[in-house]
A and B are shown apart, each in its own frame.
Chain A
Amino acid sequence: MSLSLSPNSAHALLEADGLTKRYEDGVLALDHVSFSVRAGEIYAMLGANGAGKTTTINLFLNFIEPTEGEARIDGVITHREPLRAKQKVAFVSENVMLYPNFTALQNLDFFARLGGRTSYTKDDYRRVLLRVGLQEEAHRKRLKGFSKGMRQKCGIAIAILKNAPAILLDEPTSGLDPQAGFEFMQLLHTLREEGRAILMSTHDIFRAREIADVVGIMKQGKLVMQRTRAELAGESLEDLYMEYMAGHTEAVD
């Protein structure tokens, strides 16, 4: 389950190129958004509700098709070759919901096979579950009794098992207790070190500051700010965020 990518590779695994989405009712959800996430990089998308963060992720997953522009995963245009693109990405949603009548191991087995990984053993599943912090006694329990944090851990375990070079995280720490949130951040560090490109949408400015290599702020479907960790040095991300929320509406180049 380790990736053969170099953490220092400059290769962009996730790319949004002029990504635009206008819905049938005329609402412009995303307006020419462009960014890229390289291998071994964590990109945190900040923004209020309705800013376009989830729409961006949905476009990467080809759940919706862009009106203009394109999303690429490892060079594969998602709306042209969705199946090929999806082989290269794992996804963890805000509220991971798995099959409640299946045990954690059964859920992992199903989704790992669905992701094309058929050679894993039960020991592999156990190891990953332990790695994401799910205690052994929970492995054989049905998910119907799991807390949100426990389900979230299973979701992350599924993403790890897929062993994809890119990972999309939609508000992954929402609703997690502080301990679980901390453990999750530790895990993201590890995944980054393995060379994965991680795109994370979040409301959590402090965690974004702590972990992200690049932070982008979205507002009304536009990417209004994008700075690297180095560019953010000495600045308060919270103040920047509030400033951008209050005034700026122009997109970054």
Chain B
Amino acid sequence: MLKLIIAKELREIISSTKFAVTFGVCAVLILLAFYAGARSYQVGQAQYDAAVAENLRQMEGLTDWLMVRNHRIFLPPHPLAALVTGVANDIGRTATIHGRGEVSAEDSRYSEDPVFAVFRFLDLDFIFQVVLSLFAILFAYDAINGEKERGTLPLTFANAIPRAHYLLGKITGSFLALAVPLLIPIALGALLLPLMHIPMAGEDWLRLTLVVLAGMLYFGAFLTLSVFISTRTHRTAHSFLLLLVIWIAAVLIVPRAAVLLAGRAVAVPSVDEMASQKSRYHAQLWEADRKAMGSFRPAASEQPGQLLNQFNRFMQKLADEREKKMLEFSARLNEQRRNRQAVQEQVAFNLARVSPAAAFALASSNLVGTSLVLKEHFLEQAGKYQQAYASFIRAQTGGSLGGGRVMMFRTTDGGEEKRNPIDPRAIPPFVYQAIPLNRAVQAAILDFGLLIFFNVVFFAGAFLSFLRYDLR
């Protein structure tokens, strides 16, 4: 009996013109998302290679490591980040490494090409969130009340059909008829990636599979919700309207409203406020150092070079102490801000998770590594790299980090041997490690659970409602 209803549902949906048209549109959009994602990755990779080369090129010709300024590292593009963009385009992709001080991410894609920020990208995440949820509604809003309106429900239940079997058959049949065919363009799109020479590691394929799985759960949530609403209403026009309102709230309003509410509920000091506090503290430290400079008493020497070395050592000591204090102060402020931010993010995400759209967006971005953690992860790695870089520069300069904090003084008598240029390729390269899969999965588990929960709750709602549904 169940098989019969599933088969009927499959045949009914697949033989309809509505399916042919909407499936065609969805298939094109999915393939387009994969193609655009692959192209975006290729462009991003080319820009990344050029930026890395340019960074090394600007150091060419320098003859002293102390002259190296603005050594920059870059967040490499990730193939999946183009499919589930998350915040990848919003956060800075570049960090300037001085060997000391705070590292910050600059030059986001949107800050460089703001036109992309206007309508955002047509990525897989967008297609699942917006297009496929509408696709589910379009085919399931009349699952039960449509059968009643058309008159097929009484005829069906004039037979010995348990209601539970019928409902399960309807939902399973609709899911198989709608979700499974969508896997075809997704599989074709995935096939495009190796064809376009996008380097996908085994772990990346696993991440993509999990994203699609989350998408299917999200699709299922809207499908079961639509069936539920169709068991709560007797007219298809009512269920469609109601579902449209729910869709607008779930996809467009709830996630944004949650962030707004969290912003109101948990105050986080702004970056400007922080910068102002740091700046004031820095000025105080400078003032103190300026006074301390007056106490510089060189040991008796007539050699200007020795005098200068003494002065440099004195200044370096002051700079190191000042730097230490500044770092401690900044770290304290940053930690306070991060803690507040973490609370705010938790409040925002937990409120937003009322919506399946938010749960899916969080699950997919966590899996791919384009969630808010990306910035933190990049800066963490940049911070570690800075230490390695500082060690390297110290080794090259005999202890100094340079970076404009020392004065350089050389005497030349014309007969001195010309100094050899430094080799920028000797600088240890920045090797970005993507967020590990187990960490990504851990971060996505809650939202996976929520998506399953939505499916179960909506199915249970539809089941209980249909048990008392007036079949006439």
Find chain B residues with CB under 8 A from A111 CB: 155-156, 159
Chain A residues in contact with chain B, CB under 8 A? 58, 61, 63-64, 82-84, 86-87, 89-91, 93, 95-102, 106, 110-111, 113-116, 155, 158, 162, 168
Beyond A99-B152, A116-B159, 19 extra complex contacts between A and B, CB < 8 Å:
A58-B472, A61-B154, A61-B157, A64-B470, A82-B160, A83-B162, A87-B160, A91-B154, A91-B155, A93-B154, A97-B151, A102-B15, A106-B11, A110-B8, A111-B159, A113-B4, A114-B159, A114-B161, A158-B155
B411 interface residue, CB < 8 Å from A?
Answer: no
| CB<8 Å pairs between A and B, sample of 14 | A61-B154, A63-B470, A63-B472, A82-B160, A86-B160, A87-B160, A97-B150, A98-B155, A99-B8, A99-B12, A101-B12, A106-B11, A111-B155, A111-B156
B156 touches which of A82, A89, A90, A114 (Cβ 8 Å): A114
* Nearest CB of A to B163, in Å: 10
B11 touches A84 (CB 8 A): no
In the bound complex, how far is the Cα of B161 from the Cα of A84, in angstroms?
A: 10
Task: Return chain A residues, CB-CB under 8 Å to B8.
Answer: 99, 110
Q: In whole angstroms, how far apart are the Cα atoms of A115 and B160 in the complex?
A: 7
> How far is it, in angstroms, between the C-alpha of A96 and the C-alpha of B155 when the chains are bound?
8
Q: Does B16 contact A (CB under 8 A)?
A: yes
| Contact string against A for B residues 134-177, beta-carbon threshold 8 Å, 1 for contact and 0 otherwise | 00000000000000001110111111111000000000000000
Within the assembled complex, what's the spacing in Å between the Cα atoms of A86 and B157? 8
Residues of the A chain whose Cβ atoms lie less than 8 Å from the Cβ of B198:
none
Contact B160 A110 (CB under 8 A): no
Q: How extensive is the interface on chain B, given as a class?
A: 20 to 34
- Measured in the bound complex, the distance between the Cα atoms of B398 and A166 in whole Å is 103
Q: Which residue of B lies closest to A54 (CB)?
A: B472
B contact residues around A99 at 8 Å (CB): 8, 12, 152
| B471 beta carbon closer than 8 Å to chain A | yes
Chain B CB within 10 Å, residue with most, of A58, A100, A110, A162: A110
- Judging by beta carbons under 8 Å apart, are B160 and A93 in contact? no
Distance from A28 Cβ to chain B, minimum over Cβ atoms (Å): 17
**In the complex, what's the smallest C-beta–C-beta distance from B208 to chain A, in angstroms?**
35
A63–B4 alpha-carbon span in the complex (Å): 22
Contacting residues, chain A, for B159 (C-beta < 8 A):
86, 111, 114-116, 162
Partner of B157, one of A63, A101, A106: A63
Q: CB-CB < 8 A to B162: which residues of A?
A: 83
Residues of B within 8 A of A116 (CB): 159-160
Closest B residue to A162 by CB, please name it.
B159
Q: Which residues of A contact B151 (CB under 8 A)?
A: 93, 95-97
Q: Which residues of B contact A168 (CB under 8 A)?
A: 158
User: Is there an interface contact between B156 and A98, defined as CB atoms closer than 8 Å?
Assistant: no
In the complex with contacts A87-B160, A101-B12, A114-B152 CB distance below 8 A = no
The 8 closest A-B pairs by CB, nearest first: A97-B151, A91-B158, A83-B160, A86-B160, A114-B159, A101-B15, A63-B471, A87-B160
Q: Considering the chains assembled together, what is the distance between the CA atoms of A116 and B150 in angstroms?
A: 23
Q: For B162, give the chain A residue with the smallest CB separation.
A: A83
- Residues A86 and B152 in contact, CB atoms below 8 Å apart: no
Q: Which residue of B lies closest to A81 (CB)?
A: B160
Among B12, B156, B162, B470, the one with the most A-chain Cβ atoms within 10 Å of its Cβ is B12
Are B472 and A155 in contact, with the CB atoms below 8 A?
no
| Closest residue of B by beta carbon distance from A90 | B158
CA distance A249 to B265 in the complex (A): 69
CA distance A96 to B158 in the complex (A): 13
Contact A97–B160 (Cβ < 8 Å) = no
A106 and B14 CA atoms in complex are apart in Å by: 14
Q: How far is the CB of B8 from chain A (nearest CB, A)?
A: 5
CB-based contact B158/A102 at 8 Å: no
